[in-house]
Amino acid sequence: MKFKAPRGTHDIWGKDAEKLARLEDFARTIFRKYGYGEMRVPVFEDAALFSRSIGESTDIVEKEMYVFEDRKGRKLALRPEGTASVVRAYLENGLSQALPVPKLFYMGPMFRYERPQAGRYREFFQIGAEYFANPDPTADAETILLAREIVGSAGVTDAVVNVNSLGCGKCRPAYRAELKKYFSDKKGLCADCQKRLEKNPLRLLDCKIDSQKFSDFPKMSGYLCDECRGHFDKTRKLLYSAGCEFVVDDRLVRGLDYYTRTIFEVRSNALGSQDAVAAGGRYDNLVKELGGEHTPSVGFALGSERVILAARNAETVFESGAPATRVFVAVAGQGLEEAAFKLVSQLRKDGPESDRVKKILTLSVRTVAEGPFASKSLKSQMRLADKFNADKTVILGEEEMKRGVIVVRDMKSQEQVEIKAEEVTGR
C-alpha cells in the first residue's frame, strides 16, 4: 500500500522550506521592531472556543472545521485560525496584567476543510499578530502598516491594502436590515446567497457569483454611527500620513463574525482568485465574549504560502544572505574515515575566519561541509561531490597522508593543490 499526503496538504522541502523559514525570520525581526512578543498556542483547542469566536453560522464553523473527540469524549478542533486561541491564552495567562503593552505574534499551521486549489489548502501556514487593549485608530493603522511591511519585505511588490469599516453593535443592525431588504427583491441569487440572506446578509457582498451583479447596494459607510465614522476617518488619515496607499472597498466583508469597525485585506494580483495575502481587523467585543473585560483589540494574519506565491518573481529576497561555500570531503584508501569525519565536523564548527577554513577555501564565508562516504569508491564520492554542488573537494588519500599532505580540488577549474595535512586536520 502506498500512502499519499491527505488532500489539501503538502510536504514542504528544498527551496520552499527555505523560503518559509526566511519569511518567518523576516516577520520575527519586524514584529520585534513593533514591540511584539511571540506566543505559541496549541494546534487543537476546545471546538466551542472557535464556534463562539468565529461565529456559529460562518462557513469556517459550519463546514470547514476538523472536529474530533478525544478518548475521554471531549470535542476538540484543529485550529482554523489563531485569534481565538491567542485571546483564550491572553485571558488564561492573565496577560493584561503581565504585559504593559499586550502585543503578541504567532506562526504555524491552520486547518480548514476547504476545496483545495492554488493558494488554498486544508493545512496552510499563517503568521499573525494580535494587539490587545488599544481602542485608538493608531492601533488599527499600525496593524495595517505592520501587515504591509511584512508582505512587502517578502518581495510582494504589487500588494494593495483594501479597507472598510463594519461599524459596531449600535450601527450595524440597521445596515444589515437594509441589505437584507435590498437583496430580498433580487432574483436569481445563488443557493449559498439565499441561505446567507437570512443568517448573514453582509456575506452576499463578497460572493464570487453574485456580488458583481449589483453595484447600487446600500453601503456601510452611509450607516456608520458618529463614533465609528470618526474612528474610520482617523484610521484613514493616519494611513495616509504614514504614506501607506490604500483603497476603500465597500464590498469588503470578512468570513469571521468577531470583527467590529476597521477590517482590511492586503491583496496581490499575482494570485488569481485567492488574492488575499493577509487580512484582519478590529474585534472590540471578542475578549469580553470569551469571559474577559471589555478589551478593544485588533490583529491580522497572513497566509505564508500565498505570500511566497505572490513573491515568486522576487526570488532573491528569500535567499539566505551570503551564499555558503560547499566543501565535500572524500577519502581514497583505507583507515582514513575517522580523520575525514573529524575534518568535516571541524569545518562545520569553524567560523569563517578560522585558519583551517581559510587554508582550504581562501574565502571567508559560511561553510557547508559534507562527507565522508568511506564505503563508496573515490569515483562515486566525486560524483556525489558534483551533485552536492561542491565548490571544493578535500581528498584524504593514503599515499598523500603518508607524505603529510591532503589534496584540495577546485571543482570548477578542476585544479588541485596539496596543502599540509597538519594545517587543516590539526594533527
Query: Residues in the site for ligand HAM, rule: CB under 6 A?
Result: 81-83, 112, 114, 119-121, 124, 126, 128, 130, 255-256, 276-281, 299-303, 305-306
* CA pair distance 52, 286, nearest whole angstrom: 9
| Residue 189: CB minimum distance to ligand HAM, A | 24
In terms of Cα–Cα distance, which of 87, 179, 173 is closest to 133? 87
| Cα of 394 vs its chain's centroid, Å | 40
How many beta carbons lie within 10 A of that of residue 199, not counting itself? Answer: 12
Relative to beta strand 367-370, strand 325-332 is parallel
The label of the residue with cell 564565508 reads 365
Give the nearer residue to ligand HAM in terms of CB position, either 143 or 325. 143
| Residue 146: CB minimum distance to ligand HAM, A | 11
C-alpha cell at 43: 494546534
| Residue 165: CB minimum distance to ligand HAM, A | 15
* CA pair distance 116, 7, nearest whole angstrom: 8
| Residue 415: CB minimum distance to ligand HAM, A | 49
* CA pair distance 411, 376, nearest whole angstrom: 19
Give the nearer residue to ligand HAM in terms of CB position, either 246 or 328. 246
| Residue 60: CB minimum distance to ligand HAM, A | 7
| Residue 186: CB minimum distance to ligand HAM, A | 26
362: left (phi over 0), alpha (psi -120 to 50) or beta: left
Give the nearer residue to ligand HAM in terms of CB position, either 8 or 352. 8
Give the nearer residue to ligand HAM in terms of CB position, either 87 or 224. 87
| Residue 141: CB minimum distance to ligand HAM, A | 15
| Residue 324: CB minimum distance to ligand HAM, A | 31
- DSSP conformation letters of 26-53: HHHHHHHHTT-EE----SEEEHHHHHHH
Give the nearer residue to ligand HAM in terms of CB position, either 66 or 341. 66
In terms of Cα–Cα distance, which of 36, 41, 17, 16 is closest to 300? 36
In terms of Cα–Cα distance, which of 300, 262, 301, 288 is closest to 90? 288
Give the sign of the dihedral formed by CA 305, CA 307, CA 309, CA 314: negative
Give the nearer residue to ligand HAM in terms of CB position, either 120 or 356. 120
Give the nearer residue to ligand HAM in terms of CB position, either 166 or 385. 166
Give the nearer residue to ligand HAM in terms of CB position, either 160 or 407. 160
Give the nearer residue to ligand HAM in terms of CB position, either 254 or 392. 254
| Residue 58: CB minimum distance to ligand HAM, A | 10
In terms of Cα–Cα distance, which of 95, 104, 145 is closest to 127? 104
Contacts of 272 (CB under 8 A, 6+ apart): 118, 119
How many beta carbons lie within 10 A of that of residue 194, not counting itself? Answer: 13
Instruction: Let me know: does 221 contact 243? Beta carbons within 8 Å.
Output: no
* CA pair distance 57, 118, nearest whole angstrom: 26
Give the nearer residue to ligand HAM in terms of CB position, either 204 or 256. 256
* CA pair distance 173, 163, nearest whole angstrom: 20
Contacts of 55 (CB under 8 A, 6+ apart): 61, 200, 256, 257, 258
| Residue 124: CB minimum distance to ligand HAM, A | 3
